[in-house]
A and B are shown apart, each in its own frame.
Chain A
């Protein structure tokens, strides 16, 4: 079974520029998550989708971050404009469904460096 695919693996941009990350979840997984992991910390949830609808975006800085999952499969996360504090690894995860008993499976993330 193919895992969660993310691209690019690395991205370097200057502050105030824009950047987008792409995620392809495990086939058949209805729930998709984006996490941010700052160096030395555990991942923190940014947004959760159930199919193509947003379930939880309470931790998403909506003034600069946006995410979509238009057809209920792939998802993109965008930052516009980027700040130095956005340097982090952005992880995508997916699960079969919502609920505490469904494991989330993670991709290897996109490492973003802001100059």
Chain B
């Protein structure tokens, strides 16, 4: 079973920051937090991952709380192309266990 809890859906205005929350209260010390997204008819796209520290790349920022029980994915300037299902995954082995994710709708 997935070890994360995400809201089923969120809306965001184009150009604004999208902040997607994820709860993972049972995370272990050696487990990573991964974020993927899936646009309709495409495979999941890797966005970012982290262990303890906050991470940033060209796509997004990942903020992990100090107790590591929750995290937030931040898309700084959402565009219509960011409309997708976003999956937060806690991973300590090779296996990715996907939940149902958050459906993000970016509107003009």
* Residues of A near any B CB (own CB < 8 A): 4, 31, 33, 41-45, 48, 55-56, 91, 93, 95, 98-101, 103-109
Least CB distance from A50 to B in Å reads: 8
Report Cα–Cα, A105/B34, bound state, in Å.
Answer: 12
By beta carbon, the residue of chain B nearest A45 is B95
* Chain B count of residues within 8 A CB distance of the other chain: 25
Residues of chain B from 81 to 105 with CB closer than 8 A to chain A in the complex: 87, 91-101
* Residues of B near any A CB (own CB < 8 A): 2, 30-32, 34, 41-46, 49, 51, 87, 91-101
Query: Which A residues touch B43, using CB under 8 A?
Result: 4, 91, 93, 106-109
Report which of B2, B45, B91, B93 forms a contact with A106, defined as CB distance below 8 A.
Answer: B45
Report which of B34, B41, B95, B98 forms a contact with A42, defined as CB distance below 8 A.
Answer: B98
Query: Which A residues touch B87, using CB under 8 A?
Result: 42
Instruction: Let me know if A99 and B45 touch, CB within 8 A.
Output: no
Instruction: Let me know if A100 and B100 touch, CB within 8 A.
Output: no
